Amino acid sequence: MPMDHSRLPHVVLVVEDEMMLRMRVIDMVEDAGYLSVEAVDADEAMAILQSRSDIALMLTDVQMPGSMNGLQLAHAVHERWPPIKIILASGQLKLSRSEIPLDSRFFGKPLQSDEIIAGMREMLGRA
């Protein structure tokens, strides 16, 4: 039987350099019924995005080491892969709508799982 790709769960790329936080966000993604792929920084995230065509949403921390922070990564991804939805998170910064890419969302940390799950479901539809 042919595989019905419309029934496959969405794939969410989680970009977070802090391992414990990354694990927590992955739990949220999976609780929402989506598949997760993880990256520790923007460079790894870009490599994953270049190698896969199934990423539907990227959830990234704003403060990260490496060549780009999460905000720069969000703008780069939005320009190159406009269909990918983006959620940005930060414990230090408060980003305004004008600073983040169109159709993206910003959440302050600590992340509330029900809030994040609701945000993902609104952006992607139910799993």
107: in domain: yes
Domain tally, the chain: 1
The CATH number given to whatever domain includes residue 36 is 3.40.50.2300
- Residue 99 domain boundaries: 17-111
- Cα distance between residue 13 and residue 54, in whole Å: 10
- Residue 2 confidence (pLDDT): 52
5: in domain: no
Q: pLDDT digits over 101-124, tens only?
A: 998 999 999 999 999 999 999 999
What residues have CB less than 8 Å from 117, skipping those under 6 apart?
28, 31, 32
122: in domain: no
- Residue 73 confidence (pLDDT): 98
Least Cα distance to 57 among 88, 27, 31, 79 occurs for: 88
9: in domain: no
Digitized pLDDT (tens) for each residue of the chain, 127 residues in all? 555 555 778 999 999 999 999 999 999 999 999 999 999 999 999 999 999 999 999 999 999 988 999 999 999 999 999 999 999 999 988 899 999 999 899 999 999 999 999 999 999 985 4
29: in domain: yes
68: in domain: yes
127: in domain: no
